[in-house]
Amino acid sequence: MLHIVNTDFNGISHLRESYLNSLPESQECFIELLVESGSYYNIFIGETVVGYAISSIDDILGKTGENVLVEFYLKDELLSRCDEVFALVIKKLSIVKVYCKSFDSLMLNCCLMQQMQYEVFGRMFRKILASEKFHTDSRYDVRLAQMSDYNFLLQQKGGLYETPKELEDLIGKETVTMFIGHGQLVGCGYSIPVFPNGDYYDIGMWTNPEFRNTGVATYIISYLKEECINNNKIPVCGCAVDNIASMKTLEKNGFASKYKLIKFTKK
C-alpha cells in the first residue's frame, strides 16, 4: 500500500543525501532556503521507505501562501511507478506549484507527464569560462558587514534585502560584503554557502541605485568570484530569467548558464 507520512528533516536526511549526490550540478541556493523552511514527508510502500518529498511556502518570490513542491525523490527500484507516486504526492500534499531545476530529470519528467503548465523563471549559472578580471585596481574599500551596519543597510533602497529579518540573518552569518568609494556605499556582495561547511557558494550583488550602470556590479562579482576560487570554494550563481542586466554581468565574469529554474503549475 502506497502512503505518505509527515516526518522531520532527520527522517529524510539519508535519502536526501542520495538525491543530492544524484544531481549533475549543485543545489540552487534559492531552493535550499525553501527546503530549510519546508515540510518533510517519507513515501512508503507497506513498511518500506521508498522516497521522500519536501513542500514549502514561497515567501521569497511567490508570496502567495501556496504549497510548492521543491524536492521529490524515489529509489531506483520504484522508478517504474514514479508517475503514480508523483500524482499522489501532488494530491496528498495539496501542491499548487512545483519548482524544478532543469537538471533534476526525475522531477522534470514527472511534471511533463502530468502535463502541468510551466514557466521558466530563473537562470542557473554553474559553468565558469575564462574571463577578464574586473577588480584589479583598488578603487573601493571592501569589508564584511557587521551588525553595527544593520540600521544603515536597512535604510538602503533598491532591493538590498527582502525582509529586515533576512538582512539581519545575512549579516549575522558574515555573508554580506560592503564596497565603499569616496565615503559612500556603492554596493554589496553576497557570498552564501549553499550548505553549511560545503564547497559551493552562491554569489550575488546589489548596487546602490545612484551607482548603477557604472561597472560596480561587474566589479563586485569579479571580486567575489576570485575570493571564492582563492579560498578553494566553488562560486555558483543565478538570476531571474527577465533580469537581463544581472545575466550580462554574470556572463561578463565568465559564468555560463545552460540550466533553468522552471515553475510548473497544476491545471
Chain segment 18-40, per-residue pLDDT in tens: 999 999 999 999 999 999 999 99
Give the pairing of strands 127-128 and 141-144: unpaired
Kindly indicate the confidence band of residue 158, based on its pLDDT and cuts at 50, 70 and 90: confident
Which pLDDT does position 34 carry in this prediction? 95
- Please list the residue range(s) of the chain that carry CATH number 3.40.630.30: 127-258
Task: Say what the pTM is.
Answer: 0.93
Digit-coded pLDDT (tens) for 225-250: 999 999 999 999 999 999 999 999 99
Q: Regarding the domain delimited by 127-258, which CATH topology (the fold level of the hierarchy) does it fall under? A: Aminopeptidase (3.40.630)
Q: State whether CATH 3.40.630.80 applies to domain 2-115.
A: yes
- Please list the residue range(s) of the chain that carry CATH number 3.40.630.80: 2-115
Digit-coded pLDDT (tens) for 169-217: 999 999 999 999 989 999 999 999 999 989 999 999 999 999 999 999 9
Kindly indicate the confidence band of residue 152, based on its pLDDT and cuts at 50, 70 and 90: very high
Q: What is the mean pLDDT of residues 140-157?
A: 95
Alpha-carbon distance of 226 to 238, in angstroms, equals 17
Name the 3-class secondary structure at 29. helix
